[in-house]
Each structure stands twice: as C-alpha cells, then as structure tokens.
C-alpha cells in the first residue's frame, strides 16, 4: 500500500512523527512537506530530533494570504498525486496544508484519511475551523482523538469511517519524554529551576491580528510579575514589532524551541498560559494547570476536568488565573492509551 503523507506546519511534524514510525513498518510512505513552516526552528529541527524521514517533496510554499498558500499547495500537490498515484493520502490537524492536501486528493478520487478529525470550536471565524470541517467532510477515514470528536462528527451526519483512535500527541509525549529528559539542556541554558516559572505560547491569529487582544495578553503577563518563559512564534514576533509592544523584565522571550526542549519546559513549569491547541493538551498530559487565551476551546475535556481555564484575552481574568487557578480534581484520561498510531495503522492496512 502506498500512502502519501502531507504535512507543513510545526504541530503536524510532531503528529506525523508518532504515526510514520509505525506506518513505515508495513506500508510505503511518501512525505510531502508543503513548506508552510520553513524556519529551521519551526521545521528542520523536528525532522532531525524526532527522526522523521526527510520529505520526498518540499513544495516551498512559504508564507502568504490564505488563498495564495492554499491555492499554490493545491496546484503542486495535484501534480505529485497524478504522478505518484498513491492508494491514499494522510493529512493531520487543521492547517492550510491539511485542507490543501485533502482537497487535492479528494478531487482526484484518492481516499483521504484525516488524523485529528472531529475537533470543533464552533467558531467559524477561525481559519482552522473552516479547514477542519471541510477536511472532515471529504475524508473517507476519520481518526478522532476523543469521544467528543466522534460525537461532533456524528452530529454533522458523518458516521462512516469514523474511528476513535486516541490522540497521537499523547503517543508522542509518552514516546519522547525520556529522550527529552536525557537530551534537553534547556533548563540549565535558561537558568530555570523546576516549578519556578510559567511557560507561555501565543500565536493564534485571533490574538496576534488584534492589537487590542495582544496588548491585553502582554500586559497581563507583565503585570502578573511572575517569571514567564515565552518561546515566540514568528507570527507573534512580527505583530509585536509592528505594534511596537515592549516586554517587562519578568518575561523571558526566547526563539521557538525544538520538541524535546518544549516537553522539558512543559514538564518543569508551574503553569502554562497558551492559545495553542497542542500545548493545552500537553499541559493536561503533564498535569500542569493550563490558562487558555481563547474564547473557546476544542479540547473541552481539559476544561470539564478542571485542568484548563478559558480566560480569553480579559486582562484581569488572566492575571487572576495566573495567581489562583488550581485544579481540584484528579485527571481522567480522555485521550486514549498512548497507542493511537498503532490503531491508525491497523485501520489503514484494512483499506477503505
């Protein structure tokens, strides 16, 4: 069986690392990197650290408006699919690379398998929500990470091909955490002690593209007076420069880090403040209280379980949560048993 995997953005490299390791034992895999993320610390570092095979194709799409990116990806992916004639196409998550990969394949009647299907924020203003709904509706196999995701698909009338596989990001954390403890020197490098800092990431378009929202978030982090480590996504860097925002000394800005350093930072912090989807879940996996800088989340289990609090960009709410938010309950496991990739490969082997 010949599978073409299409990835392009940071979280997709991590998800694909978990699946490709298993997939390649029984199938031929060709990897297309769209080039959506291209800085070394947004792309190459993940391929090296996580031993993802070098992409067979790099489309070098780079950055741009949604239409530019998605359109150019469609043109180039279609050409490769016509030449390679795969049995199926595998896509991950909800980025522009996801919808471009799924749509190119679907129009050529090549079956699409979607890993992380069924996630919904019910906020169609998010580009990710548009990407994931469209992708789910043209996929033949839908690997849902949670029961909530399965229910979301059922509610949209998608029942055939839906599999509750568990979450491949949970697989990844379990698989790489020992390697992270062994290899990562990030705490020493930044002079950090266990439990004595808060980790933050910000990159969501709804936060960065709004001067008001970003200002509230930065002010909240500053006024909390906590020791905060902020690996800065290039999108956020660009907007901070444009708005000319300055940081107070309690915030340590660093370049984006590789996955092993990131797991180390997550596992050793006291709390996490983020608008990332993946980082919210990793906070949960590592039993760290999470403060989510969004108005809603797809990962509702983490909130229902009391380990994640939604503050939006309300400055006072963020400050209060940083100071006082404390989960009261034990975590329940909603994300599978760490073998999501095995389950996915087993189903893929069965074909469509």
| Site membership for ligand UD1, residue 268 (CB under 6 A) | no
Backbone angles phi, psi at 88, to 5 degrees: -160, 165
Find the catalytic residue in 37, 203, 233, 334. Answer: 203
Backbone angles phi, psi at 8, to 5 degrees: -165, -20
The least CB distance from residue 113 to ligand UDP, in Å, is: 19
| Site membership for ligand UD1, residue 334 (CB under 6 A) | no
The least CB distance from residue 236 to ligand UD1, in Å, is: 8
Which of 85, 238, 323, 326 touches ligand UD1 (CB under 6 A)?
238
The least CB distance from residue 168 to ligand UDP, in Å, is: 11
Which of 36, 97, 184, 201 touches ligand UDP (CB under 6 A)?
201
Which partner from the list ligand UD1, ligand UDP, none does 101 bind, CB cut-off 5 to 8 Å by kind?
A: none
Window 192 to 231, contacts with ligand UD1 (CB under 6 A): 203
Helix/strand/coil (H/E/C) assignment for every residue in the chain: CEEEEEECCHHHHHHHHHHHHHHCCCCEEEEEECCCCCCHHHCHHHHHHCCCCCCCEECCCCCCCHHHHHHHHHHHHHHHHHHHCCCEEEEECCCHHHHHHHHHHHHCCCCEEEECCCCCCCCCCCHHHHHHHHHHHCCCEEEECCHHHHHHHHHCCCCCCEEECCCHHHHHHHHHHHHHHHHCCHHHHHCCCCCCCEEEECCCHHHHCCHHHHHHHHHHHHHCCCCEEEECCHHHHHHHHHHCCCCCCCEEEECCCCHHHHHHHHHHCCEEEECCHHHHHHHHHCCCCEEECCCCCCCHHHHHCCCEEECCCCHHHHHHHHHHCCCCCCCCCCCCCCCHHHHHHHHHHCCC
| Site membership for ligand UDP, residue 276 (CB under 6 A) | yes
For this structure, is 203 an active site residue? Answer: yes
Which of 58, 71, 80, 127 touches ligand UD1 (CB under 6 A)?
127
| Site membership for ligand UD1, residue 61 (CB under 6 A) | no
Piece of the chain touching ligand UDP by CB under 6 A; list 110-118, 219-227, 237-245, 253-261? 253-261
Piece of the chain touching ligand UD1 by CB under 6 A; list 7-15, 177-185, 279-287, 304-312? 7-15
| Site membership for ligand UD1, residue 11 (CB under 6 A) | yes
Size of the site for ligand UDP (CB under 6 A): 16
CB nearer ligand UD1, residue 187 or residue 257: 257
| Site membership for ligand UDP, residue 348 (CB under 6 A) | no
The least CB distance from residue 46 to ligand UD1, in Å, is: 11
| Site membership for ligand UD1, residue 235 (CB under 6 A) | yes
Task: State how far the Cα of 37 lies from the Cα of 113, in Å rounded to an integer.
Answer: 22
Where in the sequence numbering do the catalytic residues fall?
Answer: 203
What does the binding site for ligand UD1 look like in residue numbers (CB under 6 A)? 9-11, 36-39, 42, 63, 94-96, 127-128, 203, 234-235, 238
């Amino acid at each position: 069986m010949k599978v073409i995997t299409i990835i392009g953005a940071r979280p997709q490299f991590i998800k694909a690392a978990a699946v490709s390791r298993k997939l390649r034992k029984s199938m031929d895999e060709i990897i297309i990197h769209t080039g959506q993320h291209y800085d070394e610390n947004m792309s190459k570092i993940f391929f090296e650290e996580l031993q993802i095979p070098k992409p067979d194709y790099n489309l070098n799409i780079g950055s741009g408006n949604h239409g530019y990116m998605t359109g150019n990806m469609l043109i180039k992916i279609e050409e490769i699919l016509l030449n390679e004639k795969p049995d199926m196409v595998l896509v991950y998550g909800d980025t522009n690379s996801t919808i471009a990969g799924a749509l190119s394949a679907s129009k050529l009647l090549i079956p699409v398998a979607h890993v992380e299907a069924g996630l919904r924020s019910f906020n169609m203003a998010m580009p990710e929500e548009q990407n994931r709904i469209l992708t789910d509706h043209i996929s033949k196999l839908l690997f849902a990470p949670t029961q909530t995701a399965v229910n979301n698909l059922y509610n949209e009338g998608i029942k055939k091909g839906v599999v509750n596989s568990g979450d491949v990001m949970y697989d990844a954390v379990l698989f790489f955490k020992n390697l992270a403890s062994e290899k990562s020197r990030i705490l020493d490098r930044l002079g950090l002690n266990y439990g004595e800092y808060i980790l933050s990431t910000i990159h969501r378009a709804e936060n960065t593209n709004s001067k008001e929202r970003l200002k509230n978030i930065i002010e909240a982090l500053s006024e909390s007076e906590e020791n905060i480590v902020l690996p800065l996504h290039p999108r956020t860097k660009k907007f901070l420069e444009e708005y000319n925002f300055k940081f107070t000394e309690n915030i340590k800005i660093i370049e984006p880090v590789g996955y092993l350093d990131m797991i180390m930072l997550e596992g050793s912090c006291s709390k996490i403040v983020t608008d990332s989807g993946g980082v919210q879940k990793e906070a949960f996996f590592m039993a760290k209280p999470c403060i989510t800088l969004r108005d809603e989340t797809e990962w509702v289990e983490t909130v229902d379980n009391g380990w994640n609090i939604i503050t939006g960009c309300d400055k006072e709410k963020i400050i209060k949560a940083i100071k006082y938010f404390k989960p009261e309950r034990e975590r329940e496991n909603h994300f599978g048993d760490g073998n999501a990739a095995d389950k996915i490969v087993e189903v893929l082997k069965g074909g469509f």
